């Protein structure tokens, strides 16, 4: 390459290629000679006395007594004769020299490896060897098949280290050289050189268990010396689960992380809590959820808040739906201050780092993976059947001494009471179809690697009709590293398009409340059956007509492009710059045609069709320059990082209502509407800027100290309140590296670590400080539009703060076959950003402000990782985690006058329910009684003084992975101990209305003396409805045990390589069956204890079958 570098006009020194070759050879030969000399200096002695000893036995003894590995090929010893060995303290070399030549064999010694050859190579022969030198490539992985980065590969004098994918490439290696592969924490291995030595698997050494790199976004560090609390899920665990959202992959697998799937509808939203709820602004707070973690994809922060479009079946769409989970290599969750402080202002709710897949050096790999399966509701509620229902109703009328008539009992008088429909089966009893197909091409050479993965997934629902969602995604990455290893570049692109026709609302409520004798959905002529009365009014709400009449079409287009570049300016100093551009377009259309109205109704003449359209666009760019520095100082290593972040997000929203359509055919045409109004047409901008730095010092691999500091600015605050300072301190003591533990047989690794720091949050809307007017109302007056004050402006609010303390003990026992981590944390969030309630005399009901309220999350987490069996054809590993989260509202000034007064209680968790006291069925009257504390004769909020904590007491998971020969079996059990509210009681008094109920109602009070918690059946308001109404909303009886143990995931996989691999060039192929939410054990009476809700579809039970072929 630099041949011409000195050719500045001077005649070039001419050398024929042959001469150059000779020169090269001389250098090589000299080196080899030196090697030989050094080998000869070894003096290991062997004693062996045996007659008729085979060479194999001799070699074994050498290995046994000296530790030298002896490598030979069996055909080399085919013709070998036995010898009468009589050696005493004989040097290895001497011994070999004595034994081998007679057999026509020679040897070489490289370090501690002896390679037996057919004949001692002569100088000439060796010369030939050199000429025939080959280039060797291969890949080094750990026991789990994960690449080992930076492993040392030595072949004679040459050595190299593996790249970030574990690949290495060594040039000019003798064909019969022996490679030595070593990596700290792993047992060194030797292999014979070859053009492609394939994948070399290193096994963990007895100590230094944790020489694993962990990803912390701006930097990586070795787990052994880390002071941070980080949990990780890898691609192989994701691959075991038939899922569509990355968050599903984490359920039950991570200590300190609780993820609740809120419904079983495609694209459902998730509730993720990393070490509890910090912000008082919950999911449905008008100012926005203050508890979202920060998502970072390939180093670039990703907008995680839902886009406020039109309401849809799956709630507010979760932006992570756009990411195909199978494109992900690892998901790391950063929990404590040391880990999250580097994201400072935005790390208070934890940070989720997603790293997508990259290509690997080596031949081009084609990977195809297809799975398909069905989902269904795993458990139906026990509801009244026709007979039970009718008996209950008749009894109610009899008890009230009222004759059923068309006004009070349309179900008994107007409807056919002989019909029976199982509405759960009818409305939510279908099978949802799942299909997922992926095809990827990847490969590359030492310098450049690529991957491109296309995927298609389709999910339908369990509802009647053809509702569903599909996603097409394309993931690509191109990585390059210059030959001198100084410059590296990585370009990642993720494109996805989600298309769905999911309507607003689902059929679950109807399935649980429609009575068995309710009318048929369709008339005999196939039209919707409205079961009209003599006035033409419908006597029931036809669920399919009212929901299914609506049509929806939603599209989400998402594109994430990231570029990361780094350059090593000098040893230990690296300049990095990363940038990203994210685009999200959400395009929604919802249509309510005339055909969804009852045509016989007297109101029908006034009805017109209407449509809503919404278009939302989010654009974010981010640039993050940084400098990494590291230097060995004495026995220690100093590392430093400084960097900066510039981010800008623009949001454009447009929502239009079109109405007055008298013709369903034209309903998609805005021009055909008689009136149009703009619900929203807004733009907003968010800017963010930060400077950050991290200093680390580790001494002697024993003592570690890390300091992180950061200053953040956000445009969401008023001019003088934009900046906040955040930082953390982390320390660790690797006590197993102390001398007195060094020789311990039990303890293989051990570390104590702790961290303390401050994180922040600016998760509020934009422009809270701006004093302005806007068009709020869609209407006009005299053809003039109105301008209304937008808000009560406040320029004084600033960052919310979370102080985090974390203490942990990590130990590895019995040569690392048991790894245990125990952590304790205490986080306190203060300066809470909330909508502070004001009396309406101020013109508004709230103002955005910081509030001196403090929320504390504390708890303990235990993770265990055990290798139970590790044999070549049988492996069994177990992972276990359990978390005990505790949440408490420590302080809230003037809570009683805030809008949160009914929601929170100081000293109690944020998730509570306040109930009345003394709720019971009076054994003599059969009616509900309660303590009417305010004496107003009605049960209301003021009577609700008893506080019940809801939420999780503890949760965790137990995962087992067993591999026997070609068969792998993996299962995950999730367990959660929690209380939930049975809000099915929010119906009217049992028996008084035509609504189905749980069979629990059958245990109602019958006669004086009965003890029951269901009151007497009756239909009139006084006394039945009144007594029921009094306890309806604040009854402690609604608190139920929602704990569950669930077989969350099962995966059985059969490795096809041994079956098919001989015929095809297959490196990894498997046939698998997987299941999700297979079995649940719970006392919860509702559909599902995870989602708890009675109004939305529970997470489905899913069984799939799949095939993966890798060529």
Partner 1 sequence: MNIMKNKYSYTALIALTCAFGCKKILSIDNPTNQTSTENVFNMDSKATSALIDIYIRMAEEGSGRFTSQSALLSGLYSDELEAPPINGNSPTAGFSETRLQSNNPLLTPFWSESYFCLYQVNSVIEGLEKSTMLSTQLKMQIQGEAKFLRAYLLFELSNYFGDIPLVTSTDRNINQIISRSSRTDVLNFVIKDLKDAEQLLPSDFSFSGGIRIRATKWAASALIARAYLYNRDWVNAESESTKLISSPLFKLEDNLLNVFLLTSTESIWQLKPVVDPYFDTFEAQFFILEVAPGTEQVFLRSSLLNAFESGDKRRFDWVGNTPDGNWSYPYKYKLKGQVNETEASSILRLAEQYLIRAEARIQRGNIEGGITDLNALRSKRRASPTATVPNPLPEISALITKEEALLKVFQERRVELFCEYGQRWFDLTRSGRAITELKTVKPQISQKDLLFPVPQTERELNPNLSQNMGY
Choice from 675, 917, 931, 986 touching partner 1 (CB under 8 A): 675
Residues 380 and 158 sit within 8 Å (Cβ to Cβ) = no
- The yes or no reply on residue 780 touching partner 1 (CB under 8 A) is yes
| DSSP-assigned letter for residue 518 | P
- The yes or no reply on residue 773 touching partner 1 (CB under 8 A) is yes
Minimum gap (Å) between residue 398 Cβ and partner 1 = 22
Rounded to an integer, what distance in angstroms lies between the CA atom of residue 618 and that of residue 685?
Answer: 10
Please report, as residue ranges, which positions from 940 to 959 form the binding site for partner 1 (by CB under 8 A): 940-942
Choice from 465, 718, 778, 1061 touching partner 1 (CB under 8 A): 778
Contact range with partner 1 by CB under 8 A, out of 570-578, 598-606, 799-807, 1010-1018: 598-606
Choice from 401, 606, 632, 745 touching partner 1 (CB under 8 A): 606
- The yes or no reply on residue 775 touching partner 1 (CB under 8 A) is yes
Choice from 693, 736, 1080, 1110 touching partner 1 (CB under 8 A): 693
- The yes or no reply on residue 938 touching partner 1 (CB under 8 A) is yes
Residues 6+ apart with CB under 8 A from 516: 383, 384, 385, 386, 389, 419, 420, 421, 422, 423, 996
Minimum gap (Å) between residue 585 Cβ and partner 1 = 18
- The yes or no reply on residue 715 touching partner 1 (CB under 8 A) is yes
Dihedral of the alpha carbons of 929, 933, 938, 942, in degrees to the nearest 10 = -120
Choice from 640, 718, 918, 1061 touching partner 1 (CB under 8 A): 640
- The yes or no reply on residue 786 touching partner 1 (CB under 8 A) is yes
Choice from 183, 258, 434, 686 touching partner 1 (CB under 8 A): 686
Quick one: 1028 or 1044, whose CB is closer to partner 1?
1028
Choice from 681, 893, 953, 1083 touching partner 1 (CB under 8 A): 681
**CA distance from start to end of the chain:** 35
The radius of gyration of the chain's CA atoms, rounded to the nearest angstrom, is: 35
H or E stretch at 18: helix 17-40
Around 315, how many Cα atoms within 13 Å sit in the side-chain half-sphere? 20
Please report, as residue ranges, which positions from 523 to 552 form the binding site for partner 1 (by CB under 8 A): 535, 537
Contact range with partner 1 by CB under 8 A, out of 115-123, 581-589, 634-642, 822-830: 634-642
Rounded to an integer, what distance in angstroms lies between the CA atom of residue 578 and that of residue 565?
Answer: 6
Minimum gap (Å) between residue 227 Cβ and partner 1 = 16
Minimum gap (Å) between residue 898 Cβ and partner 1 = 8
Contact range with partner 1 by CB under 8 A, out of 52-60, 938-946, 961-969, 1096-1104: 938-946
Choice from 659, 878, 999, 1067 touching partner 1 (CB under 8 A): 659
Peptide linkage before 347 cis (omega within 30 of 0): no
- The yes or no reply on residue 844 touching partner 1 (CB under 8 A) is yes
- The yes or no reply on residue 837 touching partner 1 (CB under 8 A) is yes
Q: Between helices 123-131 and 17-40, what is the axis angle to 10°?
A: 120
Q: Which residue from 349, 336, 331, 216 is spatially nearest to 271, judged by alpha carbons?
A: 349
Rounded to an integer, what distance in angstroms lies between the CA atom of residue 1074 and that of residue 601?
Answer: 50
Quick one: 102 or 842, whose CB is closer to partner 1?
842
Residue 723 φ/ψ, nearest 5 degrees: -105, 145
Please report, as residue ranges, which positions from 796 to 835 form the binding site for partner 1 (by CB under 8 A): none
Rounded to an integer, what distance in angstroms lies between the CA atom of residue 720 and that of residue 718?
Answer: 6
- The yes or no reply on residue 674 touching partner 1 (CB under 8 A) is yes
Choice from 638, 735, 741, 880 touching partner 1 (CB under 8 A): 638
CA angle 574, 575, 580 (to 5 degrees): 130
- The yes or no reply on residue 695 touching partner 1 (CB under 8 A) is yes
- The yes or no reply on residue 487 touching partner 1 (CB under 8 A) is no
SS3 (DSSP) at 1093: coil
- The yes or no reply on residue 774 touching partner 1 (CB under 8 A) is yes
Kindly tell me the sign of the dihedral angle through the C-alpha atoms of 74, 79, 85, 87.
Answer: negative
Dihedral of the alpha carbons of 211, 215, 221, 227, in degrees to the nearest 10 = -100
- The yes or no reply on residue 687 touching partner 1 (CB under 8 A) is yes
Quick one: 364 or 777, whose CB is closer to partner 1?
777
Contact range with partner 1 by CB under 8 A, out of 462-470, 550-558, 618-626, 1025-1033: 1025-1033
Please report, as residue ranges, which positions from 165 to 204 form the binding site for partner 1 (by CB under 8 A): none
Kindly tell me the sign of the dihedral angle through the C-alpha atoms of 998, 999, 1003, 1006.
Answer: positive
Rounded to an integer, what distance in angstroms lies between the CA atom of residue 72 and that of residue 709?
Answer: 57
SS3 (DSSP) at 224: helix
Please report, as residue ranges, which positions from 969 to 988 form the binding site for partner 1 (by CB under 8 A): none
The residue length of the chain stands at 1111
In the block, tokens 């982390």 appear at 730
Q: How many CB atoms lie within 10 A of CB 525?
A: 6
Contact range with partner 1 by CB under 8 A, out of 413-421, 707-715, 885-893, 911-919: 707-715
Rounded to an integer, what distance in angstroms lies between the CA atom of residue 945 and that of residue 89?
Answer: 88
The token duo for 1093 is: 């809700």
| Total number of residues that touch partner 1 (CB under 8 A) | 86
Quick one: 15 or 784, whose CB is closer to partner 1?
784
Q: Which residue from 232, 247, 432, 435 is spatially nearest to 323, judged by alpha carbons?
A: 247
912-915 vs 1101-1110, strand pairing mode: unpaired
Quick one: 202 or 1031, whose CB is closer to partner 1?
1031
Quick one: 527 or 535, whose CB is closer to partner 1?
535
Please report, as residue ranges, which positions from 872 to 931 form the binding site for partner 1 (by CB under 8 A): 896-897, 901
H or E stretch at 678: strand 675-699
Minimum gap (Å) between residue 163 Cβ and partner 1 = 30
Choice from 150, 625, 718, 1025 touching partner 1 (CB under 8 A): 1025
Residues 6+ apart with CB under 8 A from 411: 393, 417, 515, 517, 518, 994
Please report, as residue ranges, which positions from 52 to 111 form the binding site for partner 1 (by CB under 8 A): none
Residue 293 φ/ψ, nearest 5 degrees: -75, 170
Choice from 50, 617, 711, 870 touching partner 1 (CB under 8 A): 711
Choice from 482, 772, 924, 931 touching partner 1 (CB under 8 A): 772
Rounded to an integer, what distance in angstroms lies between the CA atom of residue 417 and that of residue 395?
Answer: 15
485 burial via Cβ count (<10 Å: 0-12, 13-18, 19+) = exposed
Residues 175 and 134 sit within 8 Å (Cβ to Cβ) = yes
Quick one: 434 or 688, whose CB is closer to partner 1?
688
- The yes or no reply on residue 777 touching partner 1 (CB under 8 A) is yes
1039-1041 vs 45-53, strand pairing mode: unpaired
In sequence order, the β-bridge partners of residue 653 are: 616, 682
Choice from 138, 709, 727, 1098 touching partner 1 (CB under 8 A): 709
Contact range with partner 1 by CB under 8 A, out of 198-206, 386-394, 663-671, 762-770: 762-770
Minimum gap (Å) between residue 549 Cβ and partner 1 = 18
Residue 706 φ/ψ, nearest 5 degrees: -130, 140
Residue 398 φ/ψ, nearest 5 degrees: -65, -45
- The yes or no reply on residue 5 touching partner 1 (CB under 8 A) is no
Minimum gap (Å) between residue 658 Cβ and partner 1 = 10
Choice from 103, 668, 766, 858 touching partner 1 (CB under 8 A): 766
Contact range with partner 1 by CB under 8 A, out of 507-515, 519-527, 599-607, 1010-1018: 599-607
- The yes or no reply on residue 575 touching partner 1 (CB under 8 A) is no
- The yes or no reply on residue 1044 touching partner 1 (CB under 8 A) is no
Contact range with partner 1 by CB under 8 A, out of 383-391, 466-474, 691-699, 1094-1102: 691-699
Choice from 936, 986, 1003, 1081 touching partner 1 (CB under 8 A): 936
């Amino acid at each position: 390459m630099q041949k011409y570098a000195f050719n500045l006009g001077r005649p070039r020194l001419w050398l024929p290629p042959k001469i150059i070759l000779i020169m090269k050879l001389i250098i090589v030969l000299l080196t080899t000679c030196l090697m030989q000399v050094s080998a000869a200096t070894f003096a290991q002695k062997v004693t062996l006395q045996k007659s008729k000893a085979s060479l194999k036995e001799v070699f074994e003894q050498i290995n046994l007594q000296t530790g030298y590995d002896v490598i030979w090929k069996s055909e080399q010893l085919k013709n070998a004769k036995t010898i009468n060995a009589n050696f005493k303290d004989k040097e290895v070399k001497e011994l070999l020299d004595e034994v081998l030549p007679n057999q026509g064999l020679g040897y070489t010694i490289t370090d501690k490896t002896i390679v037996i050859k057919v004949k001692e190579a002569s100088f000439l022969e060796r010369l030939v060897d050199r000429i025939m030198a080959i280039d060797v490539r291969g890949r080094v992985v750990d026991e789990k098949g994960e690449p080992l980065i930076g492993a040392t590969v030595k072949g004679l004098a040459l050595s190299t280290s593996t790249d970030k994918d574990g690949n290495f490439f060594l040039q000019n290696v003798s064909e019969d050289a022996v490679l030595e592969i070593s990596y700290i924490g792993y047992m060194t291995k030797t292999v014979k050189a070859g053009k492609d030595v394939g994948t070399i698997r290193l096994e963990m050494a007895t100590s230094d268990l944790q020489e694993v790199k962990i990803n912390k976004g701006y930097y990586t560090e070795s787990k052994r010396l880390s002071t941070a609390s980080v949990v990780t899920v890898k691609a192989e665990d994701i691959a075991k689960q038939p899922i569509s959202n990355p968050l599903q992959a984490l359920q039950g697998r991570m200590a300190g992380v609780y993820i609740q799937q809120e419904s079983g509808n495609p694209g459902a939203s998730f509730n993720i809590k990393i070490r509890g709820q910090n912000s008082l602004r919950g999911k449905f707070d008008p100012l926005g959820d203050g508890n979202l973690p920060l998502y970072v994809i390939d180093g670039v922060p990703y907008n995680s808040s839902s886009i406020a479009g039109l309401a849809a079946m799956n709630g507010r769409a979760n932006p992570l739906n756009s990411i195909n989970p199978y494109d992900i290599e690892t998901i790391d969750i950063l929990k404590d201050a040391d880990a999250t402080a580097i994201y400072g202002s935005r790390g208070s709710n934890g940070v989720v780092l997603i790293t997508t897949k990259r290509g690997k050096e080596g031949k081009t790999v084609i990977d195809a993976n297809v799975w398909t399966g069905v989902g269904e509701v795993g458990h139906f509620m026990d509801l009244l059947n026709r007979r039970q229902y009718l008996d209950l109703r008749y009894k109610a009328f009899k008890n009230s001494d009222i004759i059923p008539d068309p006004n009070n009992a349309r179900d008994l008088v107007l409807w056919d009471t002989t019909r029976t429909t199982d509405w759960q089966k009818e409305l939510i009893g279908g099978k949802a179809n799942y299909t997922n197909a992926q095809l990827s091409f990847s490969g590359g050479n030492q310098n450049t690697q690529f991957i491109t993965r296309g995927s298609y997934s389709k999910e339908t629902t369990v509802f009647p009709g053809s509702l569903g969602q599909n996603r097409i995604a394309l993931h690509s990455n191109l990585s390059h590293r210059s030959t001198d290893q100084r410059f590296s570049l990585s370009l990642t692109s993720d494109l996805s398009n989600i298309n769905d026709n999911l309507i607003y609302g689902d059929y679950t409520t109807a399935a649980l409340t429609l009575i068995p004798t309710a009318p048929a959905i369709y008339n005999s002529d196939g039209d919707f059956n409205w079961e009209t009365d003599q006035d033409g009014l419908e006597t029931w709400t036809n669920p399919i007509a009212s929901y299914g009449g609506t049509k929806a079409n939603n599209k989400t287009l998402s594109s994430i492009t990231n570029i990361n570049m780094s350059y090593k300016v000098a040893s230990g100093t690296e300049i990095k710059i990363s940038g990203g551009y994210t685009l999200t377009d959400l395009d929604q259309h919802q249509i309510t045609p005339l055909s969804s109205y009852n045509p016989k109704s007297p109101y029908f003449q006034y009805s017109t069709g209407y449509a809503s359209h919404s278009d939302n666009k989010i654009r974010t760019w981010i640039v993050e320059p940084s400098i990494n520095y590291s230097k060995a100082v004495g026995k220690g290593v100093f590392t430093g990082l400084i960097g900066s972040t510039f981010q800008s997000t623009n949001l454009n929203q447009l929502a239009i209502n079109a109405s007055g359509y008298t013709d369903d055919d034209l309903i998609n045409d805005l021009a055909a509407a008689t009136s149009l109004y703009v619900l929203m047409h807004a733009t907003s901008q968010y800017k963010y800027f930060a400077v950050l730095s991290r200093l680390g010092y580790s001494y002697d691999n024993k003592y570690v100290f890390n300091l992180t500091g950061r200053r953040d600015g956000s445009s969401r605050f008023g001019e003088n309140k934009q900046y906040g300072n955040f930082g953390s301190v982390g320390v660790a003591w690797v006590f197993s590296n102390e001398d007195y533990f060094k020789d311990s047989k039990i303890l293989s690794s051990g570390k104590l670590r702790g961290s303390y720091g401050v994180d922040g949050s600016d998760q509020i809307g934009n422009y809270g400080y701006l004093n302005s007017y806007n068009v709020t109302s869609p209407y006009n007056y005299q053809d003039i539009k109105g301008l209304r004050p937008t808000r009560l402006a406040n320029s004084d609010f600033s960052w919310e703060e979370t102080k985090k303390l974390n203490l942990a003990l990590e130990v590895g026992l019995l040569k690392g076959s048991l790894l245990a981590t125990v952590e304790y944390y205490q986080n306190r969030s203060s300066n809470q950003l909330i909508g502070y309630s004001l009396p309406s005399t101020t013109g508004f009901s709230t103002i955005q402000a910081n509030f001196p309220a403090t929320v504390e999350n504390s708890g303990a987490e235990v993770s265990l990782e055990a290798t139970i069996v590790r044999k070549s054809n049988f492996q069994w590993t177990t992972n276990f985690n359990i978390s005990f989260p505790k949440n408490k509202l420590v302080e809230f000034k003037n809570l009683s006058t805030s809008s949160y007064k009914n929601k929170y209680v100081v000293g109690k968790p944020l998730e509570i329910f306040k109930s009345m006291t003394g709720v019971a069925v009076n054994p003599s009257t059969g009616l509900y009684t309660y303590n009417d504390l305010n004496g107003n004769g009605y049960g209301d909020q003021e009577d609700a003084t008893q506080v019940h904590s809801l939420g999780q007491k503890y949760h965790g998971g137990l995962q087992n992975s067993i591999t026997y020969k070609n068969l792998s079996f993996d299962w995950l059990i999730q367990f959660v101990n929690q209380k939930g509210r049975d809000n099915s009681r929010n119906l009217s008094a049992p028996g008084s209305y035509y609504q189905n109920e749980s069979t629990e109602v059958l245990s109602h009070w019958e006669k004086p003396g009965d003890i029951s918690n269901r009151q007497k059946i009756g239909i009139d308001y006084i006394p039945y409805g009144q007594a029921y109404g009094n306890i309806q909303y604040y009854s402690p009886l609604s608190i139920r045990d929602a704990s569950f143990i669930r077989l969350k995931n099962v995966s059985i996989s059969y490795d096809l390589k041994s079956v098919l691999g001989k015929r095809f060039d297959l490196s990894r192929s498997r046939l698998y069956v997987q299941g999700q939410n297979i079995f649940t054990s719970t006392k919860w009476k509702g559909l599902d204890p995870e989602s708890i809700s009675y109004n939305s579809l529970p997470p489905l039970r899913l069984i799939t079958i799949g095939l993966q072929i890798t060529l």
